[in-house]
Amino acid sequence: MGENRFPNLPRETVCIETNRVLDSCRDRDCFENVRVYLSDFGNEILEHAGAVRAKNAEILWTNITIDPIAFNRGFYAVNIRFYIRVDCEACVGHGPGRGVQPQEFEGLAVLEKRVILYGGENGTMTFRSSKNDSFCSLGEPGEGSRNLPTAVVEVVDPVLLGSRVVEKKDRPCCCPCCRDGEIPDHLLAELQAPVVFDDDDRRDRFLTVTLGIFSVVRIVRPAQYLVQAAEYAIPEKECVAAEEDNPCRIFKSMPFPMSEFSSQGYQPEPPRPDRHCGCGG
């Protein structure tokens, strides 16, 4: 890959615009006894299942808002809401003589997190042109902004730490955002069946999960910098097409995936001394 790095190109000082990280933090959050909202199908299974477990959790979408902190200039509250799909499995009886069979279903859990970070101050307004602008266009509302910073959240899929079924008297408090019409339509389309939020009075059992989430949150602002840069050049290396006529030869040239077979990660073994027959002689 060395021939693609252009080490000998002349460099000059140029001005670029990019995002500057003003503040950041990392966190590990444990959310205990989070309510999992199910479809009618999932609720029916839950009411009659002998054993229920959560198998997997996946973040479908994250909603992020940022608000300035009153009387603390330059600081902002970052409000994060995670929408998580939870895959579940229940043991359900199918009648006399048919035994118990596993039945899979899915639900939606909602988590909320709030952090305070420094985002600086900027009293200007920013306007940017759009490819849809024309001489006669009136523009779209909101094209100018008061230069609020941007919050960025990096997160891995949740670690599923536990699940349990609770009775009606022990049901967890409902998230204030979990009502019909308050979940984005594109998010509901990711689920196999519509999730029901307002049927607590008709249910005797509820599913809860405990989730662990690792996250990094940062606040960025656009900034201009002078950097040493080189003009882009066309690479001298030519592209090589794959040899589709002999797939076995391509496969044999691939390195063996040692790390996939080791839970600790593959560490190359050091060269062994030459001991001839291996008997120490």
pLDDT reading at 123 higher than 90: no
Domain ranges of the chain: 17-125+145-225
pLDDT winner (highest mean) among 144-158, 165-179, 209-223, 251-265: 209-223
For 90-104, the pLDDT digits (tens) are 887 766 656 677 888
pLDDT reading at 83 higher than 80: yes
Look at residue 274 in the predicted model and tell me its pLDDT: 45
pLDDT winner (highest mean) among 41-50, 168-177, 211-220, 252-261: 211-220
- pLDDT range class, residue 279, cuts 50, 70, 90: very low
Distance of alpha carbon 9 from alpha carbon 130, whole angstroms: 34
- pLDDT range class, residue 271, cuts 50, 70, 90: very low
For 115, list phi and psi in degrees, rounded to 5: -130, 155
pLDDT reading at 54 higher than 80: yes
Q: Give the pTM.
A: 0.73
Look at residue 110 in the predicted model and tell me its pLDDT: 92
| Between 170 and 184, residue with greater pLDDT | 184
pLDDT reading at 235 higher than 90: no
| Between 113 and 142, residue with greater pLDDT | 113
Per-residue pLDDT, averaged over 174-183, amounts to 60
pLDDT reading at 227 higher than 60: yes
Look at residue 108 in the predicted model and tell me its pLDDT: 92
Per-residue pLDDT, averaged over 223-231, amounts to 86
pLDDT reading at 1 higher than 60: no
Per-residue pLDDT, averaged over 231-256, amounts to 75
Give the residue from 82, 66, 220, 89 showing the smallest Cα distance to 156: 82
Look at residue 101 in the predicted model and tell me its pLDDT: 78
